[in-house]
Amino acid sequence: MSALNHRLRALGSVIVVMALLAPLAPALAQADERFWLAGRYDRNHVIVYFEAVKLKHTLPRDSSAIIAPPIAEGFFSPVQVSPAYVDRFRKPGMERFKIGDRYDLLLGDGSVATVTLTKLVGCETDEDVGNDSYIGALARIESADTTLLARKYFALRRLESFRIEPARAAASRLEMEIRPVDSAFTARIAQVIQRALDTDTAYTLGVRRMSKLTPVSIDRVQSFALADGSARQFVKATFATGEVCRVDAFVKPEPVARVLAHGMSYCLNNAAGAALVNVLDLGRGRTGLIFEGFTGDGHEVRLVEYVDGVSLHRLRILQCISAGE
């Protein structure tokens, strides 16, 4: 009887340990989860840079390595490299990608396709001024529908790390056509942003005073939906404080327009700032945003995880591809 009790106690201990570990499983899986930016290469391929590295002017220069530049300008001018060349720059924790590997491609509007890596590539930027270079691959979309790559920027994740629920498959979306906004709406949004600037103690008193004296001008309004289907807007505005200042704001338009987060920066070299180019369902109720823009002296594509109440340049960066002086 004592032997039976001992076995029952041991079994109970195992059950308790399993119960304690069970809630950790999703968290552990999420910690290992990664997303990478993907750019349209041609009508049925994308390009992805898995890792930022320092190539130190070792990229092959012979004509056999030269390939056509990608359609997505933010991925610069890659050249074909060998598996041995990629292995030279691998470090612990890097993605162990190789030709033939398959990944999920998040297209936007909640859609997911499968791609297969077909060619390894490298891209060298101006490392001498502090830029990163990149190693990655071209990937062919397995679907015969070439219209899936209608946009320029997407995201890659490991194959079937999770699947989006069919009921929400078309939730996250971006209204790609930037439509003219009626003057009444523009004036209302400008007033909301103006109030946010006037009361934000993070800015100097001089800036707050100037924002009261100089009207905010709305440059662009882009509407998008979160993974749960709720509406948001990304608003770009400017106002003058002796220099031109740019304001990026996230707005909840309904039931009454409200600024959820905003940030301000000076317009260096007449930089146009960031444009929202895709919205992705990252799974588990999360929304990813892809921004493209000139940084004043360079170019940047950034994939971030959106959270209400966090300004653009404070959102968690999942990957950034950039180069500048």
pLDDT value at residue 85: 97
pLDDT value at residue 34: 95
Q: 222: how many CB neighbours lie within 10 A of its CB?
A: 19
Walk along the chain (325 residues) and give the pLDDT tens digit of each residue. 455 455 445 444 434 434 444 444 443 344 478 999 999 999 999 999 999 999 999 999 888 899 999 999 999 999 999 999 999 999 999 999 999 999 999 998 888 999 999 999 999 999 988 899 999 999 999 988 878 898 999 999 998 655 544 444 445 666 644 555 667 777 878 887 777 777 665 555 555 555 566 777 888 888 898 988 888 999 988 876 556 678 889 999 888 888 899 887 765 555 567 889 999 999 888 999 999 986 666 789 999 999 999 999 999 999 999 987 6
> Which H or E element spans position 6?
helix 2-21
| 134 in Cβ contact with 321 (< 8 Å) | yes
Where are the domains positioned within the chain?
Answer: 33-163, 183-324
Pairing of strands 153-158, 111-123: unpaired
Q: Under DSSP, is residue 88 helix (H, G, I), strand (E, B) or coil?
A: coil
How many whole angstroms separate alpha carbon 123 and alpha carbon 305?
Answer: 26
pLDDT value at residue 296: 61
Assign domain 33-163 to a CATH class. mainly beta
| 216 in Cβ contact with 248 (< 8 Å) | no
How many whole angstroms separate alpha carbon 255 and alpha carbon 89?
Answer: 52
pLDDT value at residue 299: 85
Q: Indicate the pTM of the whole model.
A: 0.82
How many whole angstroms separate alpha carbon 118 and alpha carbon 45?
Answer: 9
Q: 137: how many CB neighbours lie within 10 A of its CB?
A: 28
pLDDT value at residue 32: 77
Find all residues with CB under 8 Å of 306, minimum gap 6, and list them.
Answer: 226, 232, 250, 286, 287, 288, 289, 315
pLDDT value at residue 213: 60
Q: 293: how many CB neighbours lie within 10 A of its CB?
A: 20
- Which residue do the tokens 């209302």 mark? 188
Question: Read out DSSP for 176-244?
Answer: -S-PPPPHHHHHHHHHHHHHHHHH-TTS-HHHHHHHHHS--EEEEEEEEE-TTS-EEEEEEEEEESSSE
Q: What CA dihedral angle connects 68, 69, 72 and 74, to 10 degrees?
A: 160
> Which H or E element spans position 24?
helix 24-32
In the chain, where do the E strands start and end? 35-40, 45-53, 79-80, 102-108, 111-123, 133-141, 153-158, 173-174, 217-225, 231-240, 244-252, 258-266, 273-283, 286-294, 298-306, 316-324
Strand partners, 53: 133
Q: What CA dihedral angle connects 28, 309, 234 and 38, to 10 degrees?
A: -20
Phi, psi (degrees; rounded to nearest 5) at 34: -135, 150
